[in-house]
Structure formats: C-alpha cells, structure tokens
C-alpha cells in the first residue's frame, strides 16, 4: 500500500503545480515562480549536503555560475546545441566539485565553510576578469532559448512547464535518494562520523559523492537560469548569493525535501513583497531572518509542526516532550 500512496502524493503535487500556473493570469507571477523553481533546484542539492550529510558549503553559487557560464559561452560563442551545453556544464561543475571536494571535505565545520567560500570567491573573480570569455562585469548577452522538437521555451508560460517538470523530477529523485541506503548512510554520517565509519560507511567517499551530486543540481539550475534570462552577469553568482542559498536551506528546514521548496519560495517572494517598504526593505529582511531563526531554529516546516504538536499536547493536558 505504501507505493500507491507515495505515487498519489506526487501526482497531487504535479497537479497542484499546473493548477497554480493556470490560475496565474499574470505572466509576472509565472516568472517569479520560475525563479522559485530554479532556486528550489539549488536548495534541494544544498540541503542534501547540509541537512543529510551535515557538511556546509558557502560556495554553491560557484557551481550555479559554472553551469550558467558554460551554457552561455558554448551556445553564444560556439553555437553549440543548448542541451549539449547543459550537459557540458554539468560535467565541468561535477569535475570541479570533485577536485575541490577531495581536499576540502577533509576539513570540518567553519574550516570547511571557509574553504568553500574561498572557492566561491575565486570562481566569481574568474567570471569577472576573464572578459574575453565571459564578457566580464557587463555580462554575456544573447543566450538563446531552449528548443525541443520544434518547441521554443521562450515565454514565461513555456519556461514554467519546463522548469517545474525538472523540479518535480529532481524532487522525486532526491526523495528516493533520501529513502535509499545512501540516505540512511548519510543520516548516520550526519549524526556521528565516527559511528558511521565504524558501521562500514566510507564517509570520505560518501561526502564527496553528495558534494558532487549537489554541484550537478546547481549546474543544471545555472543552465536553466541562463536560458531563462538570455543574459548572465557575474553579480548573480557572488558570495552573497551562496549565503542566501544557505539561508533558504535553513529557513525552509534542514533535512527536508519539502522544506527546500518552502525555503526557496519564501525567500524569493519575500523581497518582492517587501518592495513596498523601499529603503526599509533591507532592514526588515534582516529582521525577519533573525526572528525566524531565533524562534524557529529548525526552520519553518519543523518549527510550525513543532508548534502544532505543542498545541495538541496542551489540549490533551499532557506535557510536551522536549
């Protein structure tokens, strides 16, 4: 009985995704949802790394950028097929993640954060300075739309279908990874590296695997981003964006695939809503971030569930098991 229920859930979600799109009469909301989709891909990958494997990365914007720039440069300068360029981007990002991951993942905690941050800074500077390839800070223009069998993904509505199909597939894939043997090994790793090691888990290899895996997601998101914007510039791939991604993971809730969707959604929409506060936007944004983390340190999904449980316990007159 378990499988049909699971299947049901995904079908329900897919239906919801399309229903929502049909309700959006304004293309602006579709564009907003498209960016949420792209951010979700990034956040799911980072969440696998942070929430399940317990390793932090402050340099994920670099893989996002590598995907975007590989797609951009190969299609604009060399006229390559966008799908091949996307694949090339994933290969480059995967190899980069592999090479940086081998030494970096031996580091722990803040030292790992620093190493990934340093990697992010270096890649960002290369985007800015290698002007012959990347167009430098003024950006790379004229990136074509994606094509598939005569269909060109050039309007928000068509892009929405494409991006959210990818998001649904990636969510299903990630959820099944979490439920698999690897997922269990990851959770063991998260709880105690030594214990996982003693149970026969090759922790170093596992960490590397998941690091490369999340870089592949980021690269895929980057390619989609490049073809959605038709234009890319280094400022989209700076350290601040890496930090924002970590924030999305934590606000949504670590070790939760759905939390990733929520975190990406909330933190992409929030600045749009705060736009009405003009210069106060930044202050309010920072304030909300602090308040959410102070009172719901396990993220929105877990936090709200905790509150619900707490209320139920209170209603039943029992004590809340802390």
B/e letters for 4-28, b = 16+ CB within 10 Å, e = fewer, are: eeeeeeeeeeeeebeeebeebeeee
Count of C-beta atoms within a 10 Å radius of residue 114: 15
Nearer to other proteins, 191 or 272 (CB): 272
Nearer to other proteins, 23 or 200 (CB): 23
**For 174, which DSSP code?**
H
Nearer to other proteins, 200 or 276 (CB): 276
- Residue from the set 166, 221, 245, 300 that interacts with other proteins by CB under 8 A: 300
The token pair at 202 is 């090759």
- Residue from the set 8, 131, 192, 202 that interacts with other proteins by CB under 8 A: 131
Residue with token string 């998260």: 190
Within 13 Å and on the Cβ side, how many CA atoms surround 71? Answer: 33
Q: What part of residues 191-230 is at the interface with other proteins (CB under 8 A)? A: 229-230
Question: What is the smallest separation between the CB atom of 272 and other proteins, expressed in angstroms?
Answer: 7
Are the C-beta atoms of residues 156 and 34 closer than 8 Å to each other? yes
Q: What part of residues 253-282 is at the interface with other proteins (CB under 8 A)? A: 254, 256, 258-259, 261-262, 265-266, 269, 271-273, 275, 278-282
**Residue 311 found at the interface with other proteins (CB under 8 A):** no
Q: What part of residues 91-120 is at the interface with other proteins (CB under 8 A)? A: 103-104, 106-111, 113-115, 117-119
**For 238, which DSSP code?**
S
Nearer to other proteins, 24 or 92 (CB): 24
**Residue 243 found at the interface with other proteins (CB under 8 A):** yes
Are the C-beta atoms of residues 301 and 259 closer than 8 Å to each other? yes
Q: DSSP 3-state assignment of 146?
A: strand
Q: What is d(CA 75, CA 260) in angstroms, rounded to the nearest whole number?
A: 30
Q: What part of residues 18-57 is at the interface with other proteins (CB under 8 A)? A: 20, 23-29, 31-32, 35, 50, 56
Q: What is d(CA 266, CA 274) in angstroms, rounded to the nearest whole number?
A: 12
- x-or-dash string of contact with other proteins, 133-152, rule CB under 8 A: ---xxxx-x-----------
């Amino acid at each position: 009985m378990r499988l049909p229920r699971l299947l049901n859930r995904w079908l329900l979600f897919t239906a919801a995704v399309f229903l929502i799109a049909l309700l959006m009469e304004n293309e602006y909301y579709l564009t907003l949802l498209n960016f949420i989709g792209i951010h979700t891909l990034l956040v799911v990958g980072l969440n696998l790394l942070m929430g399940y494997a317990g390793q932090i990365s402050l340099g994920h914007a670099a893989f996002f950028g590598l995907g975007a720039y590989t797609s951009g440069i190969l299609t604009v300068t060399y006229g390559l097929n966008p799908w091949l360029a996307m694949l090339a981007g994933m290969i480059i990002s995967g190899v980069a993640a592999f090479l940086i991951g081998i030494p970096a993942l031996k580091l722990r905690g803040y030292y790992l954060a620093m190493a990934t941050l340093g990697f992010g800074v270096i890649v960002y500077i290369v985007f800015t300075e290698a002007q012959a390839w990347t167009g430098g800070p003024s950006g790379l223009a004229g990136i074509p739309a994606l094509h598939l069998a005569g269909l060109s993904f050039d309007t928000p509505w068509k892009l929405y279908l494409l991006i959210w199909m990818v998001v649904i597939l990636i969510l299903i894939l990630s959820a099944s990874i979490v439920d698999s043997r690897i997922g269990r090994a990851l959770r063991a790793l998260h709880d105690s590296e030594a214990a996982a090691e003693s149970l026969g888990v090759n922790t170093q290899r596992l960490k590397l695997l998941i690091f490369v895996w999340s870089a592949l997601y980021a690269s895929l998101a980057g390619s989609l981003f490049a073809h959605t914007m038709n234009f890319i510039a280094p400022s989209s791939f700076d350290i601040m964006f890496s930090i924002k991604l970590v924030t999305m993971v934590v606000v949504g809730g670590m070790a939760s695939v759905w939390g990733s969707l929520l975190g990406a959604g909330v933190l992409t929409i929030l600045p749009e809503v705060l736009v009405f506060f003009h210069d106060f936007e930044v202050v309010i944004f920072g304030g909300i971030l602090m308040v959410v983390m102070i009172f719901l340190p396990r993220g929105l999904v877990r936090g709200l569930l905790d509150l619900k449980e707490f209320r139920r316990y209170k209603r039943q007159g029992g004590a809340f098991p802390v």
